[in-house]
Amino acid sequence: MAPCLKHMTVAALLALASPATAAENAAPHPSGPPLSTGFKFTEDNGADLYTAVCQGCHMPDGKGAIGAGAYPPLAGDPNLAAAGNPVSVVVNGLRAMPPVGFMMSDEQVAAVVNYVRTHFGNNYPDAVKPEDVKVLRH
């Protein structure tokens, strides 16, 4: 006796929905740096750190967003003029922004802050050094 078409269809759908099948059929990410794993970011320059950590809220153009929350723009932001301010925000967090700096080295915090302070229409040439970050952590 041939199996019922209905049961064959259900079995086929279950096979397609299985995690193993989904993993086999998933296409690798076509471009860009690999994502960090664990509790530390692996990116080592400001642009890659911004892409991996910041642009999800502040947007690729640094203009921020409003939706489920308000994500302030970093583009043309006068709050970036004093280098210690963005370092403190990255390390300690501020309002809804989590303290993502605990998942970064002092070098990474300096790199991403320097990137934001020299991109998106910002032109603050006094570079943050890892030593500056270390002082704000303690």
Helices (H), the chain: 5-17, 19-25, 46-49, 55-58, 84-92, 106-117, 130-137
2 has a pLDDT exceeding 70: no
Residue 61 lies in a domain: yes
According to the model, what pLDDT value does residue 32 have?
58
pLDDT, average across residues 37-52: 88
Residue 25 pLDDT > 50, yes or no? no
**Domain span holding position 67:** 46-137
State the maximum Cα–Cα separation within the chain, in Å, rounded to a whole number: 81
CATH number of the domain enclosing 128: 1.10.760.10
Q: What is the pLDDT of residues 95-131, one digit of tens each?
A: 889 999 999 999 999 999 999 999 999 999 999 999 9
Mean per-residue pLDDT over the chain, rounded: 81
More confident residue, 17 or 49: 49
Could you give the number of structural domains in the chain? 1
Identify the three-state secondary structure at position 64: coil
Specify the higher pLDDT residue, 34 or 109.
Answer: 109
- Separation of alpha carbons 117 and 130, rounded Å: 15
> 14-23, 76-85, 108-117, 128-137: which range is least confident on average?
14-23
Asked whether residue 63 is domain-assigned, the answer is yes
List Cα–Cα distances, 133 to 1, 31, 41, 81, in angstroms: 74, 31, 16, 16
